[in-house]
Amino acid sequence: MPAVVRILCLLLVSLLLDTARSLHNVSQRTFEIDYKHNHFLKDGKPFRYISGSIHYFRVPRFYWKDRLLKMKMAGLNAIQIYVPWNFHEPQPGQYQFSKDHDVEYFIQLAHELRLLVILRPGPYICAEWEMGGLPAWLLQNKSIVLRSSDPDYLAAVDKWLGVILPKMKPLLYQNGGPIITVQVENEYGSYFTCDYDYLRFLQKRFHYHLGNDVILFTTDGAQEKFLQCGTLQGLYATVDFGPGINITNAFLIQRKYEPKGPLINSEFYTGWLDHWGQPHSTVTTEAVVSSLHDILARGANVNLYMFIGGTNFAYWNGANMPYQAQPTSYDYDAPLSEAGDLTKKYFAVREVIQKFQKVPEGPIPPSTPKFAYGKVALRKLKSVEESLNILCPTGPIKSLYPLTFIQVKQYFGFVLYRTTLPQNCSYPTALSSPFSGVHDRAYVSVDGVPQGILDRSNVITLNITGEAGATLDLLVENMGRVNYGDYINDSKGLISNLTLNSSILTDWMIFSLDTENAVRHLWGWHGNNSRCHGKAYAHSSSNYTLPTFYVGNFSIPSGIPDLPQDTFIKFPGWTKGQVWINGFNLGRYWPARGPQMTLFVPQHILVTSAPNTIIVLELEHAPCNDNYPKLCTVEFVDKPVISATVTYSHLLRDMWN
């Protein structure tokens, strides 16, 4: 036998032996429930997870490893993640799984850090996320019944599961990955449909795509009424509850549905969510660590929700009913702050975990440095009305009556509705939405003169003035779809007719606005707008100005090795709007309502090689006008303000304006 052939044969034998060993090692990996001894078995040995929730879709990919390392160093041996359907399929059949959407990479990164993963792929996730993770395009079917065995809904779900679950199968623990358990749906017992056929359908499809060895489970609030509709034989039932709850009673509820097996709190709340116009929610460190200690002392498994909250960038925040939108910050008062900073709560939680299992040795990654870049002057570009050729290049849709966002296939952001006044309104005349049909907030003008705001929650009638034939514009903002409860089929836009002096308004032109594309074009306006656009500040008796874009830029020295750094942007004197930096949609600001006053700016969107461009869309009232342009500034600071006191005057002003 020639020497070369002999060497090739030896290499082939070695390769086959390595493959056999690898397959043997994978086959040795098991994760199962030991019902006799009420715990999990990992590779045949008793196991208890202490996990923390992190939402990869709320943390830039740039920071995934930093956050995961901090979680590991806190003593966690697992993480829990949701998979938001709408984040990965924003349009039917158009999937996004790269960059910040690369959930497979995120899970593999956790695996490299030896963190196990508890997967919650929905299809509904809640999570204070736009429409609970369900894509808004499902609502194109007006009769669809979400989270049920409605055939149209099941068909869409089945197609999505056929995309996401095969991506997850190689990442299961028994296949060599980190995923130990998979949740089916989410807190289904809190939803009105109570459709066991729906749960059975999901159970079958999950097993079809993931195999029969995977542990499937459900999560519901620790009340019997929730578990009655949220559980199904073959899906392991778990509960969720926060500090201050009677732990014994909570686990007794789980035991009623799972007499044997591990005790599990799938969502132990380290903090709570916020709403615009309400105080920032906090839960004391003492309350968290006291209850956490009691849970662990019982031998229970626990997931800390959230361990890091993150940010609702762009338009991704959810809302609750009666309609209250959640802010851009999803800090959650968690052990790691929105910006990934270590907190008192982090070290206190780590100390408790250390009493029950060994925590990793070595340095904990520090909080990232922050930099106050200071004030940046902005100048006015154009109003939304003047920008329609860029915001809506295809032109308007004409309709006798208003169409919703869904009907014009606009799922986020803004739509402008335009008609003409059919009569003289020399004196203030009532423009009304009798059935609270403005979802969610409309900025009203007549012939370029701001009139005020119609609001889904508070203001359904507004007095306007203008001549017959004048242009009536309503810029309607989607403030975030409801993510929890019976009203997640949340239509946006003008969802019912408007009346003027009790007569229905007709003959609408509807402009679907592509703000993301427009922002890219806005940079081209630099230098062409030194003159003032008086229309944006047309005379009005109100305190409002037309929704208008502003732009500014600032440079970061390239010679300083530690720059750029994270920062926070503040809006002194501004009212409400949206902000982009270098084309990245940071989210909504609303200092007039609070409690959030600053927005987190991660360093990876900043550059030193060129000026950084800030574009602000102010919807209500800017701090400057043509006579006092110097007042038009934003400020970059090194400390966040997300818990500003909400004053009664703020609330009153917003109710009546």
Q: Which residues are catalytic?
A: 187, 267
Q: Which amino acid is at 595?
A: P
Which one, of 340, 307, 313, lies nearest residue 328 by Cα? 313
Please state whether beta strands 397-399 and 441-446 pair in parallel, antiparallel, or not at all (unpaired). Answer: unpaired
Rounded to 5°, the CA angle 211-97-394 comes to 130
Within 13 Å of residue 534, how many CA atoms lie on the same side as its CB?
1
Q: Tokens 């020399």 belong to which residue?
A: 426
- CA separation for the pair 391, 235 (Å, rounded): 48
Phi, psi dihedral angles at 77 (to 5 degrees):
-110, 5
Helix (H, G, I), strand (E, B) or coil at 255: helix
Which secondary structure element, helix H or strand E, spans residue 588, and what is its range? strand 584-589
Rg of the chain on CA atoms, in Å: 27
Question: DSSP state, 633?
Answer: E
At residue 214, the 3 state secondary structure works out as coil
Question: What is the amino acid identity at position 559?
Answer: G
Phi first, then psi, for residue 397 (nearest 5°) are -95, 135
**One-letter identity of residue 272:** W
Cis upstream peptide for 564 (omega within 30°):
yes
Q: Is residue 438 within a helix (H) or strand (E), and if so which, with residue range?
A: strand 438-439
**Largest distance between two CA atoms of the chain:** 105
Give the rounded distance of the alpha carbon of 375 from its chain centre: 29
> What is the DSSP-derived secondary structure letter of residue 260?
S
User: In which element (H, E) is residue 352 found?
Assistant: helix 344-354
Q: Which amino acid is at 246?
A: N
